[in-house]
């Protein structure tokens, strides 16, 4: 397990309703299991109680992993991904769907002579307490406010010129767009704003094969497409697509 970077900002919970539902589910299954044990009789009641108990523990375990990942594990994963980008420190980096700045601000700390630009529509369904002023406060708390720029924008219509970024990153954001065609539009925008020789790193829970195809169709070379589990076992649901613009 990689060392967790110290964070001074407050980064909320991704899709906050998800762990709430998991915990509620687990608690209900546990209550049903206890009720079976209490009121049921015989081997079948015991088997039902055991099955419900196992289901309950499974749900609570998954909720625990989810909470660990969103509060801590994500930062360890992105520390590694940002290391692999081998930033020189003077790049212009764009984070699409930056939310409260988990990745954007870690990137900004590696860009003493560069600029970290974040765009978002600030959906509180996708991240708790999501708001531009929260990200701005986090940037100040992390000591990088002077090199961070935030814009309210949809990733399908980026308000930037062609070839204006050295690096584009995105964490857990593109899957929030519904419709394959709309997600493809976001990827075309990411490719458009990237300079020749520029790098992309996208980590997401779904659709990464389609992201890679779209980036390839835009003339980028896929350098990695893999699960982020393994060393980061708690991130097994997450996949990486990395590419370079030829």
Binding stretches for ligand SAM (CB under 6 A): 14-15, 74, 97-99, 102-103, 119-123, 126-127, 130, 154-156, 171-173, 176-177
Least spacing, CB of residue 148 vs ligand SAM, in Å: 14
Q: Considering beta carbons, is residue 22 or 102 the nearer one to ligand SAM?
A: 102
Give one DSSP letter per residue of 67-135, joined into a string.
HHIIIIIHHHHHHHHHHHTT--S--EEEEET-TTSHHHHHHHHT-TTSEEEEEE---TTTBTT--HHHH
Least spacing, CB of residue 207 vs ligand SAM, in Å: 13
Q: Which helix (H) or strand (E) covers residue 204, if one does?
A: strand 194-204
Q: Considering beta carbons, is residue 116 or 119 the nearer one to ligand SAM?
A: 119
Q: Considering beta carbons, is residue 33 or 130 the nearer one to ligand SAM?
A: 130
Least spacing, CB of residue 96 vs ligand SAM, in Å: 6
Q: Considering beta carbons, is residue 69 or 166 the nearer one to ligand SAM?
A: 69
Q: Give the Cβ contact number of residue 197 at 10 Å.
A: 10
| Residues ≥6 apart with Cβ < 8 Å to 119 | 94, 95, 96, 97, 98, 150, 151, 152, 153, 155, 158, 159
Least spacing, CB of residue 234 vs ligand SAM, in Å: 15
Which residue's Cβ lies closest to ligand SAM? 99
């Amino acid at each position: 397990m990689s060392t967790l970077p110290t964070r001074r900002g407050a980064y909320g919970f991704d899709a906050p309703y998800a762990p709430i539902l998991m915990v509620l589910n687990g608690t209900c299954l546990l209550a049903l299991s206890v009720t079976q044990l209490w009121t049921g009789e015989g081997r079948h009641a015991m088997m039902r109680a055991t099955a419900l108990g196992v289901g309950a523990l499974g749900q609570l375990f998954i909720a625990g992993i989810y909470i660990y990942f969103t509060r801590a594990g994500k930062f360890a994963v992105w520390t590694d991904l940002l290391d692999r980008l081998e930033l020189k420190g003077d790049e212009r980096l764009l984070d699409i769907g930056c939310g409260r700045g988990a990745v954007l601000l870690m990137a900004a700390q590696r860009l003493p002579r560069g600029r970290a630009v974040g765009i978002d529509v600030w959906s509180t369904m996708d991240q708790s307490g999501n708001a531009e002023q929260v990200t701005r406060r986090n940037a100040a708390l992390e000591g990088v406010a002077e090199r961070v720029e935030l814009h309210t924008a949809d990733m399908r219509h980026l308000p930037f010129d062609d070839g204006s970024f050295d690096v584009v990153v995105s964490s857990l954001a593109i899957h929030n767009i519904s419709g394959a065609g709309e997600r493809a539009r976001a990827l075309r925008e990411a490719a458009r704003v990237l300079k020749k020789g520029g790098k992309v790193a996208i980590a997401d829970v779904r659709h990464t094969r389609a992201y890679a195809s779209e980036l390839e169709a835009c003339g980028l070379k896929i350098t990695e497409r893999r699960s982020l589990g393994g060393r980061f076992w708690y991130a097994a649901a997450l996949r990486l697509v990395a590419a370079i613009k030829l």
